[in-house]
Amino acid sequence: MLKNLIGSEWKEVSRPALPVYNPATGEVLEEVPLSGAEEVEEAVRAAAQAFPGWSRTPLLERVRLMFRFKELLEAHAEELARLVTLHHGKTLEEARGEVRRGIEVVDFALSAPTLLQGRTLREVTGGVDQNLFHYPLGVVAGLPPFNFPVMIPLWMFPIAVVAGNTFVLKPSERTPLGAVRLAELFLEAGFPEGVLNLVHGGKEAAEALVAHPEVRAVQFVGSEPVARRIYALAAQSGKRVSAAGGAKNHLVVMPDADLDQAVPAILNSAFGYAGAGVLSPNTHVPHPQATHNEL
């Protein structure tokens, strides 16, 4: 049975569970607990308690820790790719592309000393100067989809964390193993207790997380109906929310198209990653527009 990460402790959950399959063989790899509001409360409380200290941690120290995390991701990139293939089922080449795309966003997060710079405009009107500063929000929640179990979590929590926020991640209950390994590497990098927390579960856990009053911002990638639900639930409480959903790849084949390239592109676009990612015929690196998540 997989465990939730609360603070720096992996905690057992006494809840009903779902099997996590190897789709190639039908073998049950793990069981994922369906956490409820009680477990979400524990995770958010841990994140909220960590926020004051983490938000006051000097930016360069936050970046140093992220550099360590990035080094661990590079060292374990092949392991992460094989883990994606094991419990998601995509080819190893595709999984390697997914991991690489995730690490690229961690690279972007490392530029935080530049990204978080403010600005000053002097004399915007008579005797008035304007100053802009960036401040962290607090606890941020992330709900990634099943079809990119490593890449999209890496699109979510590294940027939020390096900006001084703390994070609660609820991975897809279908493919949770990638997020678990990322959290293990995150702790190994030396981040303080409670900066990243992980709660397994389905609809109950997701809605409890989005509705929690301590959660200040929500990131979601998934199907359009669920994205609308997440957006409405978060927005009614005044939270900042990014809810990407409903995308479907479209291609136009012109009369002069090279069909040897067009046909594989159409097949990948229609069927790859539930129709939500395009594979380059040269690099086989995924380009997701939005993905599907059962909530």
51 by DSSP, 3-state: which? helix
* pLDDT (0 to 100) of residue 276: 61
Task: Please give the structure tokens belonging to residue 254.
Answer: 């012109």
* pLDDT (0 to 100) of residue 287: 42
pLDDT tens sequence across 84-100: 999 999 889 989 999 99
Query: Does the structural domain 4-113+133-249 have CATH classification 3.40.605.10?
Result: yes
* Contact present, 162 and 63 (Cβ < 8 Å): yes
143 — phi, psi (to 5°)?
A: -125, 90
Four-residue CA torsion sign, 55, 58, 60, 65? negative
Q: Where are the domains of the chain?
A: 4-113+133-249
pLDDT tens sequence across 31-78: 999 999 999 999 999 999 999 999 999 999 999 999 999 999 999 999
Give the distance, in angstroms, between the CA of residue 46 and the centroid of all CA atoms in the same chain.
19
Rounded CA-CA distance 269/74 in Å is 29
Does the pLDDT of residue 285 top 70, yes or no? no
* pLDDT (0 to 100) of residue 274: 58
Model pTM greater than 0.85? yes
